[in-house]
Structure 1
């Protein structure tokens, strides 16, 4: 069952180990901090030693494949699932460990799932006001403020079935934000939207969240969505966070081959170390510190391969930037709208490599061409 938690402002209990804690403020502590969360079901650990921090106005994406523990982590933070160990802090104050637990409605946390779960019998205004307390005039003012931010003032008296999917998503966002939660948890909130609308809705959602100063933890399995929305990405695999950082750093300095492959297609060139070098079709690669005989994988993305023409069996001259060229035979080429993908069978070892070219480039199968790769764009990992 999908839930939306509407948030109050209850003061959490004091930590048992600190009977007189110093009261914290959002300016001196992360809005959300989780420490060493662990959760197991039937002896199988689905969340393992997960720790992260989210500050005011920051969007952190918990990114990973289905079944890696993302949603379970979110449910633990929201309070609808209980961890086996670990601690959760909101604005520096402990809200949950294995002894004390603040209920979901007392955590100042908003929660949005894939299912917007709007009340069909209530108007847009009444849906947004559902979790609010206070006078009727104050509720109305808050509703109008949020409707203006999501550009849906015209729909104030409409019902959910009269709105498009994108409009329903924005109303669900406004309803979750109405009680002014410190933290917003979002579990694949855009997955049900039409692909054409996703970018527009994501951008408008991000604008509203930033304007509210809310700390956001967004769960997604889509790398493009994480790259578009996140200030920081926490890449999750098999219940663990394997890498965390700004999108640029995660993309350009992956921790391993699987991390690189999660964000885009990759080419893998395999070899063995000899005298701290690996011999490949593109010349030798330095592999210092690895003993002879070690198998390694050199990873490069298709967009970082450069194609040049064959000149009677000869290719371009080697350069310090592009290294030694290697010849391949075109097996197939496909136009994908924004780019073309060309598949090569390499002369050196019969391996297959893919290169992408902006716009239209469709050489015929059997055409010999030369490839060069940008050395600074390569990653070398143990096999």
Structure 2
């Protein structure tokens, strides 16, 4: 088996309902021990893609392979129970009439003593040793999730498919259980596909993010790259609030109230959007009537009037109406910074943290 064929391979998966593609030409390669997050808004095709990989939904086109073995194509459709794929969902799906140990052992084969031993081993790994005789209703939500994890991993699946598995957990529990889950899956060398609509969860868990929109993957890469080099405005905005400044390109430059911005390779006359996240705006008071002294990185200062300021817990969010065109911009400031509405402040943009995209549509 070649390195390239090890793990999960998805090639051109497509699914149509009512003459419309709900998943279109989705391709992925997930190596053993790698976590890939399918990230996107509700209805973009994430869960349908997961169901096709699991074998509970048949694609209209494309292939699914595990370790080079074809599980699904135009002629082959291996049933879900023979795919060696583990499944985890947000509702845990534990059997209420079975004990914790019986739940974990449910999908195992072989002699009873071996099944019991494997169940006890998995409960110990998820820090639930001694909970075997209990029933699911006697456990907390976090404990039930760990039982579901133990049950999913017990058969040693080559692939683990996870559909929003942590969304039902209290925020205080979520981070710890996510980290524990990742540690165990990586130790097992399992290829993981995680579906989520939460960018923070994807950034925390993924080795690779596949950003989905309208049934297709629009960008794939490491979390750092997807966040810092978004493919378009919508990709940037999916991860955080963004400010948008509009302009038109002339001579590879776009003129704005904050100075000229480079737009290399964009034809003259093209309308563009300059996108910047609120944390990359710099604020200063108009102490002397001239505004702050800009650095080359900051460009030209522009003045705005504070409309609202709120403390968000670890930062302050300040909203401005800009003098030059009445547009609204948002800036975030570490710690507490709550200027009164009506206060005139100067804003400068960190050019190196801006994205310039041609206007489409």
TM-score by length of 1: 0.92
CA root-mean-square deviation: 1.1
Displacement, 1:293? 2.4
The reply on whether 1:150 has 2:126 as its aligned counterpart is: yes
Separation in 2, partners of 1:305, 1:111: 43
Displacement, 1:208? 1.4
Displacement, 1:28? 5.3
Q: CA 1:327 to 1:28, structure 2 compared with 1: closer, same or farther past 3 Å?
A: closer
The one of 16, 30, 40 aligned to 2:16:
40
The reply on whether 1:279 has 2:255 as its aligned counterpart is: yes
Query: How do residues 53-92 of structure 1 correspond to structure 2 at under 5 angstroms?
Result: 53-92=29-68
The reply on whether 1:322 has 2:298 as its aligned counterpart is: yes
The reply on whether 1:269 has 2:245 as its aligned counterpart is: yes
**Equivalent in the alignment of 1:240:** 216
The reply on whether 1:376 has 2:361 as its aligned counterpart is: no
Separation in 2, partners of 1:145, 1:320: 60
Separation in 1, partners of 2:197, 2:266: 34
**Equivalent in the alignment of 1:189:** 165
Displacement, 1:40? 0.1
Q: Where does structure 2 lack aligned partners over 5 or more consecutive residues? A: none
**Equivalent in the alignment of 1:6:** none
3-state SS of paired residue (1:153): coil
Displacement, 1:213? 1.3
**Equivalent in the alignment of 2:205:** 229
Q: Deviations over 1:127-163 (max 9, x none)?
A: 0000111122211221121111110113111100000
The one of 290, 293, 296 aligned to 2:269:
293
The one of 98, 104, 114 aligned to 1:128:
104
The reply on whether 1:169 has 2:169 as its aligned counterpart is: no
**Equivalent in the alignment of 2:230:** 254
The reply on whether 1:366 has 2:342 as its aligned counterpart is: yes
Separation in 2, partners of 1:219, 1:304: 29
**Equivalent in the alignment of 1:357:** 333
Q: Which moved more, 1:228-237 or 1:27-36?
A: 27-36
Query: How do residues 334-345 of structure 1 correspond to structure 2 at under 5 angstroms?
Result: 334-345=310-321
Displacement, 1:364? 0.3
The one of 79, 85, 90 aligned to 1:103:
79
Separation in 1, partners of 2:4, 2:215: 30
Q: Which moved more, 1:347-356 or 1:67-76?
A: 347-356
Displacement, 1:291? 2.9
Q: In the comparison of the two structures, how many residue pairs are matched?
A: 359
TM-score by length of 2: 0.97
The reply on whether 1:212 has 2:188 as its aligned counterpart is: yes
Q: Where does structure 1 lack aligned partners over 5 or more consecutive residues? A: 1-23
Displacement, 1:198? 1.2
8 Å CA contact 1:331, 1:365 repeated in 2: yes
Separation in 1, partners of 2:16, 2:230: 28
8 Å CA contact 1:30, 1:53 repeated in 2: no
3-state SS of paired residue (2:130): helix
**Equivalent in the alignment of 1:346:** 322
Q: Which moved more, 1:116-125 or 1:188-197?
A: 188-197
